[in-house]
Structure 1
């Protein structure tokens, strides 16, 4: 006699169900807008009962908060994976990789970013998600300081300047997509390296006569 196949579980694990709810909400928020999307539409898209939604979230605001945390965690993880391709003590290579990956990731995912972080800074200037990225960048800069690659009075301040600069510059790239993205990214990298002292601008000789 053949052994019967094991019965499939009737319910999905909580972690999978949560991800499906968040995926459904994110898709609807992007296509319809947060205000226009209802909880009924979210649960219908996720194929769950409304009571399941309230097991995880109290409101759409809670969903947005969870989506923001997920967005940043994925962003941080992707940057970390990119940096792991370079030696831990190679501050310049890791800083370059962090900037290049940040530009590429933000340019590719800005639509989700704009949904989950709409007016975020006005609501919470402590901004835990932003701090996660700053700490990652600060760690790179501190490695460079420790190895003598560059001298920085305050790596935290420099990290904040680079983060804000890269973020703002990428907004310009997003707004004008006809730009050469590779050349744009290279220019941002070189400017940031110059900021920390890893790149010295060439001095042109004065003309005689």
Structure 2
């Protein structure tokens, strides 16, 4: 019997790798709500793998089949959640230059709705970037994507004569990106007198007046 050809062996290896990646993504999504529930009471550094797998009703062996450790899991969770948040932000970036304030409000309301359920995780990510270089690299890449999207939105509006032409699009986008990241992290869920609708209305006014 002839042995398998190098090409067929390579295809099988690629198929196994693809299945492993898909399974890793599935396990990551399964763990996400469990980790976020635990983060309501604890910080990420204080969580153990045993706590996370117990909350998610997974085995330790399953966890370690797909993740090196809990830092590796955090990177996977960061990628999933940040991708979702960046996609939500595109509703803002893709507004027509002549879009109304109500449309602007709707775009930011959508972003708040997507971000709010993941506030505890995003706070954990922000706390981790100071000591986990790989988490920081992934987080910064997503922030750069957001900054570029806002800068392009400003330039499009400036070209159309709708947004202020005296704004430095790149510098303004950098400020707005980090302002939104911190504001969403601290205020999007609402606490005390700062209820979500008040926070949303305030940021819509701030951004609208700054840009127009």
TM range, normalised to the smaller chain?
A: 0.5 to 0.7
> Does residue 117 in structure 1 map to residue 126 in structure 2?
yes
Aligned residues: 183
Deviation of the 1:72 alpha carbon? 1.3
Listed as ranges, the gaps of 5+ residues in structure 1 are 1-12, 199-209
Deviation of the 1:61 alpha carbon? 0.8
Cα deviation, 1:8-37, whole Å, max 9, x if unaligned, reads xxxxx7143342234433433444432333
Could you tell me whether the CA contact under 8 Å between 1:138 and 1:159 is conserved in 2? yes
Q: How does 1:83-98 map to 2 (within 5 A)?
A: 83=92, 88-90=96-98, 95-98=104-107
Deviation of the 1:157 alpha carbon? 1.1
Q: How does 1:98-109 map to 2 (within 5 A)?
A: 98-103=107-112, 105-107=114-116, 109=118
106-115 vs 66-75, greater mean Cα deviation: 106-115
Listed as ranges, the gaps of 5+ residues in structure 2 are 1-21
Counterpart of 1:16? Answer: 26
Greater fraction of residues in helix: 2
Could you tell me whether the CA contact under 8 Å between 2:36 and 2:118 is conserved in 1? no
- What is the alpha-carbon distance in structure 1 between the residues aligned to residue 145 and residue 72 of structure 2? 20
- What's the TM-score, normalizing by structure 1? 0.67
Cα deviation, 1:92-151, whole Å, max 9, x if unaligned, reads 656544444445554554222212321425754781122232223223212212212121
Structure 1 residues 99 and 163: CA distance shift in structure 2, 3 A: farther
Between structure 1 and structure 2, the one with the greater Rg is 1
Measured on the aligned residues, the alpha-carbon RMSD in Å equals: 3.4
Q: Pick the aligned partner of 1:159 from 138, 161, 173.
A: 173
Q: Pick the aligned partner of 1:140 from 150, 153, 166.
A: 153
Structure 1 residues 181 and 25: CA distance shift in structure 2, 3 A: closer
